[in-house]
Structure 1
Amino acid sequence: KFVGKMLENAGYQVDTAVDGEDGLRKASARSYRLILTDLEMPKLNGFEVIQSLRSRPQTQQTPVVVMTTRAGDKHRQMAISIGATSYVAKPVEERALLQEVERWVGRAPAVRK
């Protein structure tokens, strides 16, 4: 929720999921320019989500950024090897996250206050 609010405040449209299954359901129902996932989630973990996203034609090319507390090389390499586009360790700084999102989808439209 914190990350979603951060991205919304920066001007991005954000959908959130309660768990891995919910995220896959949403990714199947509509098209996204970027998918952020954690590795540790209920029902389906992030590795399972990435594998499923990469096996579906509508999400094969969608950038997938992993955000997780598991900052070790082993988890990073595994996530990248199964199809993650990028890997960000938590806690993530707002500026670093926004730069990563901009890298894959560009800047959000200006936010009117």
Structure 2
Amino acid sequence: MKKILIVDDEPNIVISLEFLMKKEGFEVAVAADGDEALSRAAAFSPDLILLDVMMPKKSGFEVCEALRADPAQAALKIVMLTAKGRDTEVARGLAIGADAYVTKPFSTKDLVVRVKELLGLA
């Protein structure tokens, strides 16, 4: 079973994503800020992380950079989630190693398709 870590400081988004991913058959863990994201990633060893950009403690960009610097997390797929669809943010996210970028509000159907593609399940 593939594992997904959901990192977002908005409870409504976490609840809906958690429900959606569990319904698709994934094992799910959640984190509410950047620091928790890194400790959860180390403990849970997810296959993919849904990572919000704007968060307390560490931004999604900082979390992404830290994960990409960790050889143990080399195979981890990172999908950045953000309310900002600005091209500069997308470019920055991809430049620091994100595998995909999804702008809020997103279509849950499209997100599931993207996750499955990244995990080789599509």
Q: Which TM-score applies when normalising by structure 1?
A: 0.89
1:24 and 2:38 aligned = yes
For residues 21-77 of structure 1, give each alpha carbon's deviation from its aligned partner in whole angstroms, at most 9, with x where no partner exists.
Answer: 101001112321111101001110001000000011111231100111111110000
* CA-based RMSD: 1.4
**Length, aligned pairs only:** 108
Q: Does 1:37 align with 2:71?
A: no
Contact 2:34 2:55 in 1 (8 A): yes
List alignment gaps of at least 5 residues for structure 2.
1-13
Paired with 2:84 and 2:72, the residues of 1 have a C-alpha distance of 28
What secondary structure, in the 3-state scheme, does the structure 2 residue paired with 1:88 have? strand
> In structure 1, what is the Cα distance between the partners aligned to 2:75 and 2:120?
16
Answer yes or no: is 1:85 the counterpart of 2:99: yes
Q: Note if 1:15 corresponds to 2:29.
A: yes
% identical aligned pairs: 34
CA drift of 1:106 comes to: 4.0
CA–CA separation in structure 2 for the residues paired with 1:15 and 1:66: 16
Higher strand share: 2
In the alignment, what sits opposite 1:74? 88
> Does structure 2 retain, via aligned residues, the 8 Å contact 1:31–1:58?
no
* Cα distance in 1 for residues equivalent to 2:90 and 2:75: 19
Q: Which structure has the higher relative contact order (CA within 8 Å, separation 6+)?
A: 1
Q: How is 1:90-109 mapped onto 2 (pairs within 5 angstroms)? A: 90-107=104-121
* TM-score normalized with structure 2 length: 0.83
Are the equivalent residues in 2 in contact too, given 1:67–1:89 (CA < 8 A)?
Answer: yes
- For 1:111, the equivalent position in structure 2 comes to none
Find the residue that maps to 1:66 and give its secondary structure: strand
